Chain A
């Protein structure tokens, strides 16, 4: 990716090659150790040949609308743990890494999965570390041994999903405070967390607020969120994305712009549904009134990666139509093979700079963007 590939007449084949290249880049780091394992004279694949982590992950996601992608990733990795026979701890870690790589390779947008899988892996690895000296003596949780960790993870699979759910409820509590009386909230993207915040704010009798929902025609997630809000008795107006600047400039009662996100990057920037960056930039650019741009997301959506190079989304390993390099000209996008490799257009994402974000509402309180690395720091 770093070297400049001379671009001959663009054919479908070069395009596939590029996609494949992306694919390797995204998973390079993770596949290396697993390759090493395969070289080892251990009985690696034999037992769980029939376990398909990707299928498990997808069925988890489709079975429960409430489950987030990182949590689904964690759950499918736990599933893997539970069927894996007892091996040495290092071998197990290698196997988990291999499964993680498989899972990452399966999704055009690996960031949410990476967030969950990284968290899981770090949690597993932490138990291998020698317990830190005196400093943690006051901690309630004694550092668990590796086997204990494993048992704990397998035994409490259900619990984690519940906790994730509870995290969302907590976010609703924090977030509802930012919804003020007689004001208008502008939102987009059909985030379940945002919906929860708004529903919770609506239960407060002293607050009468309205919602403007940016809804592109045909977006089912946003439509579902709008329906849910309307059913709860909220006054929701929907607008198409072209009207955002007009509405921001003319509706002076908007004081809060609230979005959800797929992944929070280490620097506090977010990778979220296409249009978020545009919205954030407009909120900052259009004068008048005091508008704040807040992101609602659980901390397990934090990805331990810092975006530095352009095009940011592609460098982060997301495979979507990258129009910045005109690579897609002449490519038949209806081709099934291409479709499988790339994100669907409705799922495309963009990157919002931390400068444009006023705060991130997490279940641990409202964090400024520069506080995100502290959270990450804690878990390395």
Chain B
């Protein structure tokens, strides 16, 4: 494992350990701090967000579903704004919001003896008959400010223009329609349900890599040459799993062939493991990558996030590999767990790419260079959807055209509309 990861790992672990002992507000602040310093990044963001939201649900005071949704939304947007470069946070928040909506509607249905399984449409959430009049819930900050996107009329049917459903009559004020006024007795039940649900999401995040790896031997065939560009943990596990069944050759491409400081070759641990299974590994410097592409059978990346349109964010340099693969008509396979699928289109900032610290390329000791050159070091790349052949998720391989149904299965339309970044408090 590269040393950079061991540096921040303790602080996230420490945070998770201290969750129970300190007020949840302090944990949120601590996580925001970590996110801003980028001491928590990548997949850990998802885990951390789930942990924090769990605390919010378990320990904050709320009396009905609307309040809970508002609380989760406001905490979620604080986290998301702390790390705008990590859309995964938003995904987890949306998942939790969807979860709460599901549980709430189930609750209501049970109460009304409608008895139904997963009511996945917002129409089912709208009360059939007006709920008993009671003082309106105190408007939560986030909601009142971003009322418009929350209040979007949502229906999955083209018929909604003709339908008799009443919720479409006043689409713009939908935000103020109380979802369901949970009775005090059911608040406790709802809390337990939601906590269980969040724990399931956490399990899912944990198991995702293994599940993705289980598709490895279908995708990698004996005798193939596979190019892995800066393999992430997901890709490493995928390759190792494949190595247990198959004999193939892995090209590992990375920016610097010798890692600074240690003098060790990068991904030494991965190479050792692969070699022990009899898989040949070859290290490439990324600038020489093009020369090997004709030899390669497929290119594998781990995605940081996969957008609605099929585009994805990856570590910098991967786009070159993807484009090279395109030129030589080699398939590009992207590994990404379901929770990395973001129901948005990439923002302009994401597409342009994110700039990082260039000090590893030019040393401050080198005065003239520092003075004369503008050095930009992109740390994230956007790969347009046209370059990607296939996405392997923990639910199996998918093509671009089925991403929409995955998104529809995992997020509620009203939460997609809720924008985490626009929601300034």
Residues in A lying within 8 Å of B, measured CB to CB: 71, 74, 119-120, 122-123, 126, 137-141, 144, 152-153, 156, 159-160, 163-164, 166-167, 169-170, 173-174, 177-178, 180, 183, 255, 290, 292, 298-300, 302, 358-359, 363-368, 370-371, 374-376, 378-379
Q: Say whether B159 contacts A379, CB under 8 Å.
A: yes
Least Cβ–Cβ distance between B182 and chain A, in angstroms: 19
Q: What residue in chain B is nearest A173 (Cβ atoms)?
A: B148
Q: Say whether A163 contacts B419, CB under 8 Å.
A: no
A169 to B400, CA, bound (A): 30
* Contact residues, B177-191 vs A (CB, 8 A): none
- The total of Cβ contacts below 8 Å across the A-B interface reads 123
A74 to B159, CA, bound (A): 12
* Contact residues, B80-127 vs A (CB, 8 A): 109, 114, 116-117, 119, 121, 123-124, 126
A379 to B158, CA, bound (A): 7
Least Cβ–Cβ distance between A161 and chain B, in angstroms: 10
Q: Say whether A378 contacts B158, CB under 8 Å.
A: yes
Contact of B308 among A122, A140, A366, A376 (CB under 8 A): A366
Q: Say whether A379 contacts B116, CB under 8 Å.
A: no
| Residues of the A chain whose Cβ atoms lie less than 8 Å from the Cβ of B352 | 290
Q: Say whether A169 contacts B126, CB under 8 Å.
A: no
Q: Say whether B158 contacts A370, CB under 8 Å.
A: no
Q: Say whether B162 contacts A74, CB under 8 Å.
A: yes
Known: A138-B109, A144-B164, A177-B422. A378 touches B123 (CB 8 A): no
Known: A174-B152, A374-B404. A365 touches B162 (CB 8 A): no
Q: Say whether B159 contacts A123, CB under 8 Å.
A: yes
A335 to B404, CA, bound (A): 50
Taking A169-B172, A363-B152, A364-B156 as given, write out 10 further A-B residue pairs in contact, using a Cβ cutoff of 8 Å, ordered by the A residue number: A119-B161, A163-B168, A163-B171, A164-B161, A167-B161, A170-B172, A255-B348, A364-B153, A370-B400, A378-B159
Residues in B lying within 8 Å of A, measured CB to CB: 109, 114, 116-117, 119, 121, 123-124, 126, 128, 148-149, 152-165, 167-169, 171-172, 308-310, 345, 347-348, 351-352, 400-401, 404-405, 413, 416-417, 419, 422
A83 to B352, CA, bound (A): 59
Q: Say whether A366 contacts B162, CB under 8 Å.
A: no
Q: Say whether B348 contacts A180, CB under 8 Å.
A: yes
Known: A255-B348, A366-B308, A371-B404. A152 touches B158 (CB 8 A): no
Least Cβ–Cβ distance between A205 and chain B, in angstroms: 10
Q: Say whether B413 contacts A140, CB under 8 Å.
A: no
Contact of B419 among A159, A177, A364, A367 (CB under 8 A): A177
Least Cβ–Cβ distance between B242 and chain A, in angstroms: 30
Q: What residue in chain B is nearest A167 (Cβ atoms)?
A: B161
Q: What residue in chain B is nearest A140 (Cβ atoms)?
A: B123
A71 to B162, CA, bound (A): 10
| Residues of the A chain whose Cβ atoms lie less than 8 Å from the Cβ of B158 | 119, 299-300, 302, 375-376, 378-379
Q: What are 14 contact pairs spanning A and B, CB under 8 A?
A: A140-B128, A141-B123, A163-B160, A163-B168, A167-B171, A169-B172, A173-B149, A299-B161, A364-B154, A368-B310, A370-B401, A371-B404, A374-B405, A378-B157
Q: What residue in chain B is nearest A116 (Cβ atoms)?
A: B161
Counting from the closest, the 9 A-B pairs by CB-CB distance are A138-B116, A138-B119, A371-B404, A370-B401, A166-B171, A299-B158, A379-B158, A123-B162, A140-B123
